[in-house]
Chain A
Amino acid sequence: MTINFTVSPSFPNERISDWYIFNTWLQRALSLPIHLELYNSFGAQRAAIADGKVDLIYANPFDASLLVREKGFRAIARPEGPPDEMAVITHADGPAREIRNLQPGTRLACSDDPCVNTVGRILLEPANLDGSNIVEHRRETYIQVARELLRGEADVGFLPVEAFDGFSPLIRRDLRALVTSELHVIRHVFLVGPALAERSEELTALLLSMHESEKGRGILEALGARRWLPVQHEDVEFMIDIISTLNQ
């Protein structure tokens, strides 16, 4: 039996090869054939989840909600580090100094990342902006969102803070965060699906001790993490309860 593994498309492109290296490490450690499929959009990944083509996933918090509540997945670990936060970005020379300066008709550039877009829309609420009075430009990647802002084709853009901070100084110099979320409560998590449920304890132990070997530490560092931390089922349920409020 081949296990299907995927990663939320929210990671930077330069880490693609590092996820393949992680997958090779995982296959060897579990002595199990694991196929890594990296989808280039959140929509494509959601379709694969709906078709039952995902057994293991490093998921963004919104997909984690769906997988736990509707697909019987279990969260087993999360990377050590800050939680996921989002920002509403504008051009450094843009007229808006704060969210409340934004007017109906604001042009918004965003990716199809459900997590970033949901939190982004919440950050626009104080300006009384919603889907009915903004002009949305969907782009495939975060860097394309940034380019729209730099070219003056959009007034604001939604980006994960991690992606914004990862841009080159040349790009960041001409951009500015109007507001940054401080939710502190939502995170990417590593989930195991029903097909691997019998080996989830083994897999959890493997991830939690990954940083103890030089090889494991190297892979983690390449992925931008120091170590995996355990997650309690109730912590994930709580995160899902919170996420469910954000869609209202």
Chain B
Amino acid sequence: MKDMDLADIIGEAVEHVLTYTGGHTRRVYVTPIETPYPHGKLIVSRTDTQGIITQCNPSFVEMSGYGEAELIGQPHCLLRHPDMPAAAFRDLWETVQAGRQWHGYVKNLRKDGGHYWVYATVVPNVRDGRIVGFTSVRREPSREKVALAEAQYQEMRGS
């Protein structure tokens, strides 16, 4: 996964280096700008069993700030925001790989360095008894729930 490009960033950004499972790293730039969730919409995407994006809907493209061609074939952690604790994603992967649904509040990183909050549910796609991929559906969270999640994630990060 390539580092974020400073030329894409809108606003004043702080640089972070994220370390993913497997040890690879990515340089990201983060601004405090939040993009409001579009009322009434669902953000939908599918990945293969390795978390590589295979399909996404127009709301996903719009909210991520990337073009569809930039998203397909990329790992879903392209949207990982440094404020999200690694433990939350570990829990997500352990849950869905065990064949169960996961849901939680997620702060996603946009291509322009901004972010958007979602309530995400991830389900394994079981076909003929086998997990062939995962579907993730995000919807608009309440501000109260976002505030609670923000405080909890801050505590988990120990900052």
Residues of A within 8 A of B (CB): 98-100, 122-123, 125-128, 179-185, 237-238, 241-242, 244-246, 248
Q: Are A184 and B140 in contact (CB under 8 A)?
A: no
- The listed residue with most B CB atoms (<10 A of its CB), out of A123, A127, A245, is A245
Answer whether residue B53 sits at the interface, using C-beta atoms and an 8 A cutoff. Answer: no
**Contact A125-B125, Cβ < 8 Å, known A180-B40, A185-B42, A248-B103:** no
A-B contact pairs, 18 of them (CB 8 A): A122-B139, A123-B40, A125-B119, A128-B142, A128-B143, A128-B145, A181-B41, A182-B38, A182-B40, A185-B44, A185-B57, A237-B125, A238-B125, A241-B123, A242-B137, A245-B123, A245-B135, A248-B121
Residues of B within 8 A of A (CB): 37-42, 44, 46, 57-59, 101, 103, 119, 121-123, 125, 127, 135, 137, 139-145
Q: Are A99 and B135 in contact (CB under 8 A)?
A: no
Q: Are A245 and B101 in contact (CB under 8 A)?
A: yes
* Bound: A182/B41 CA distance, A: 5
* Bound: A245/B46 CA distance, A: 13
> What distance in Å separates the Cβ of A12 from its nearest Cβ neighbour in chain B?
23
Residues of A within 8 A of B121 (CB): 245-246, 248
Q: Are B123 and A126 in contact (CB under 8 A)?
A: no
Name the CB-closest residue of B to A233.
Answer: B127
* Bound: A194/B10 CA distance, A: 56
**Contact A126-B140, Cβ < 8 Å, known A180-B40, A184-B57, A237-B125:** yes
Q: Are A126 and B39 in contact (CB under 8 A)?
A: yes
Q: Are A127 and B142 in contact (CB under 8 A)?
A: yes
Closest 7 CB pairs of A and B: A245-B121, A128-B142, A245-B137, A241-B135, A248-B121, A182-B41, A126-B140
> What distance in Å separates the Cβ of A186 from its nearest Cβ neighbour in chain B?
10
- The listed residue with most A CB atoms (<10 A of its CB), out of B37, B127, B135, is B135
Residues of A within 8 A of B37 (CB): 126
